[in-house]
Amino acid sequence: MPKKRAKDRMKPEVNAGSMADIAFLLLIFFLVTTTIDVDKGVYVKLPPWSNEPPPEMRLNSRNVYSILVNANNELLVRGEPKDIKNLREDTKEFIMNPRRLENMSQDPTKAIISFKNDRGTNYKTYLAIYNELKAAYNELREEEAQKKYGKSFEFLDKVDQKEIRSRIPLVISEAEPTNFGEEN
45 vs 158, beta carbon nearer another protein: 45
CB atoms within 10 A of CB 161: 15
157 vs 176, beta carbon nearer another protein: 176
Beta bridge partners of 174: 115
Q: Does 172 bind another protein (CB under 8 A)?
A: no
The residue within the footprint of another protein, chosen from 2, 3, 11, 30 (CB under 8 A), is 30
Q: Does 47 bind another protein (CB under 8 A)?
A: yes
Residue 77 dihedral angles phi and psi, to the nearest 5°: -110, 120
Q: Which stretch binds another protein (CB under 8 A): 1-9, 45-53, 74-82, 158-166?
A: 45-53
Q: Please provide the DSSP assignment of 97-114 as one string.
A: -TT--TTS-S-TTT-EEE
Positive/negative CA dihedral, 57, 129, 142, 40: positive
The residue within the footprint of another protein, chosen from 63, 95, 121, 145 (CB under 8 A), is 121
Q: Does 175 bind another protein (CB under 8 A)?
A: no
At its nearest, how many Å lie between another protein and the CB of residue 62?
A: 26
Q: Which stretch binds another protein (CB under 8 A): 21-29, 76-84, 102-110, 145-153?
A: 21-29
CA distances from 162 to 141, 156, 159 (A): 11, 10, 5
The residue within the footprint of another protein, chosen from 15, 34, 61, 103 (CB under 8 A), is 34
Size of the site for another protein (CB under 8 A): 49
Q: Does 85 bind another protein (CB under 8 A)?
A: no
Residue among 70, 47, 72 at smallest CA distance from 179: 70
Burial class (CB in 10 A: 0-12, 13-18, 19+), 139: middle
Q: Helix, strand or coil for residue 79?
A: coil
Residue ranges that bind another protein, judged by CB under 8 A? 16, 19-20, 23-24, 26-27, 30-31, 33-49, 71, 117-124, 126-128, 130-131, 134-135, 138, 176-177, 181-184
